Amino acid sequence: MSNIVAVVGRPNVGKSTFFNRLIKRREAIVDAVSGVTRDRHYGKTDWNGKEFSLIDTGGYVVGSDDVFEAEIDKQVELAIEEADAIIFMVDVESGVTGMDEDVAKLLRKVKKPVFLVVNKVDNNKRLEDAVEFYSLGLGEYYAIASINGSGTGDLLDAVVEALPEKEEEEEDELPRFAVVGRPNAGKSSFINALIGEERYIVTDIAGTTRDSIDTKYNRFGFEFNLVDTAGIRRKSKVKEDLEFYSVMRSVRAIEHCDVCLVVLDATRGFDGQVQNIFWLAERNRKGVVILVNKWDLVEKDTKTAKEFEKHIRNEIAPFTDVPIVFISVLNKQRIFKAIETAVEVYKNRTKRIKTSVLNETLLPIIEHQPPPAYKGKFVKIKYIMQLPTPQPQFAFFCNLPQYIKEPYKRFLENKLREEFDFTGVPVSVYMRKK
């Protein structure tokens, strides 16, 4: 389990800029209109070798200024409940505001580590101004400027120092399959159809599944845990604190599963929200099966399924080697096919290939199509091995690893897929110096 660090604070204090700097990606649109952070604000990062998930609660606020206050209170309460440490960000330009005082009041009662961070401190004058934040009663503060990163190192040192050591949960060794997707795609109905009992309340109101629930499942002589997650949904819809809560839960479910069954509603298509979920699974290097549900409701001609599938594969390129199963939970069509496919993907993800077999198979292919020469230098790949990691990762040992570019790595990945079948699983290729 990785720790969760939540960033809280009123709009426009610079939470997104800070978040982007840590996640090293411009994932959030940063703009000076308050509440502009629309996107899912979640990412993994690490500092001093300790990995944690960062959640920027800013993305969960909707509505006008008067709504903000109530919303921020809710967010802070949820962050307090779900996160392992809290970064409370304030802005030296505007000084202490009433809203800051409200948040501080909530945070003073917390038993978890809270870090007061004064942002936009980029000169000595502002360093002096920051002193007024002692009045919030949260003790020491960290002065940073997230725009250029000054001060963030000391803050992160303190944060990872304070994170609790996560004791490895006594995991039963069963594979975990997480059923994820946006609300109302049919996740709970899918699980009901599999288990054959109405264990979940299924209604067509979005968000009736609040929490992720585990079910042990044993069929076809195969046993695994099914994890049903609350639907991950667009932030503009998160009016209710429980939704924010369920987003955090879904994120955790994806982080701690082996295979993600991404359920989408055929009538809505493979939209941005489903793509977010897909890439979240891919970034966490999980096995993926895409289930197109409610296929019975789609007007079809002879090409429809092929066209639909082609569209999805275009959207998920370059990771196109993913099984796509068309199902109808209502008519119980192909739901067992869906599970069999997930089992196959699980086996692919845990596959181990002997070093001798790897070299016998791939070295002749590489000899036939060597990496392009770079600045007149020839790159020779001498030896290949699979790394001892939970998912497929391969090291190619060569004389000049720095000259092997992305396209050739992709070529090697595709050859690995062709020869050894890694359908549904992200494969990592590393170049190492012999």
* 124 vs 260: CA distance, rounded Å: 50
Q: Residue 175, SS3?
A: coil
Q: Is 3 annotated as a binding residue?
A: no
Q: Is 433 annotated as a binding residue?
A: no
Q: Is 184 annotated as a binding residue?
A: yes
Q: Is 348 annotated as a binding residue?
A: no
* 402 vs 358: CA distance, rounded Å: 22
Q: Is 181 annotated as a binding residue?
A: yes
Q: Residue 376, SS3?
A: coil
Q: Is 207 annotated as a binding residue?
A: no
Q: Is 42 annotated as a binding residue?
A: no
Q: Is 295 annotated as a binding residue?
A: yes
Question: Which residues is 269 bridged to in the sheet?
Answer: none
Q: Is 123 annotated as a binding residue?
A: no
Which of 240, 246, 125 lies closest to 188 in space, CA to CA?
Answer: 246
Q: Is 192 annotated as a binding residue?
A: no
Q: Is 98 annotated as a binding residue?
A: no
Q: Is 374 annotated as a binding residue?
A: no
Q: Is 149 annotated as a binding residue?
A: no
Distance of CA 18 to the CA centre of its chain: 18
Q: Is 125 annotated as a binding residue?
A: no
Q: Is 323 annotated as a binding residue?
A: no
Q: Is 31 annotated as a binding residue?
A: no
Q: Is 14 annotated as a binding residue?
A: yes
Q: Is 332 annotated as a binding residue?
A: no
Q: Is 320 annotated as a binding residue?
A: no
Q: Is 187 annotated as a binding residue?
A: yes
Q: Is 9 annotated as a binding residue?
A: yes
Q: Is 231 annotated as a binding residue?
A: yes
Q: Is 230 annotated as a binding residue?
A: yes
Q: Is 294 annotated as a binding residue?
A: yes
Q: Is 158 annotated as a binding residue?
A: no
Which of 207, 202, 211 lies closest to 238 in space, CA to CA?
Answer: 207
* 371 vs 369: CA distance, rounded Å: 7
Q: Is 47 annotated as a binding residue?
A: no
Q: Is 57 annotated as a binding residue?
A: yes
Q: Is 139 annotated as a binding residue?
A: no
| CA angle centred on 218, ends 217 and 222, rounded to 5° | 115
Which of 94, 74, 79, 87 lies closest to 15 in space, CA to CA?
Answer: 87
Q: Is 59 annotated as a binding residue?
A: yes
Q: Is 154 annotated as a binding residue?
A: no
Q: Where are the beta strands (DSSP E) in 38-84?
A: 42-47, 50-56
* 226 vs 176: CA distance, rounded Å: 6
State the binding site for GTP: 9-16, 56-60, 119-122, 181-188, 228-232, 293-296
State the binding site: 9-16, 56-60, 119-122, 181-188, 228-232, 293-296
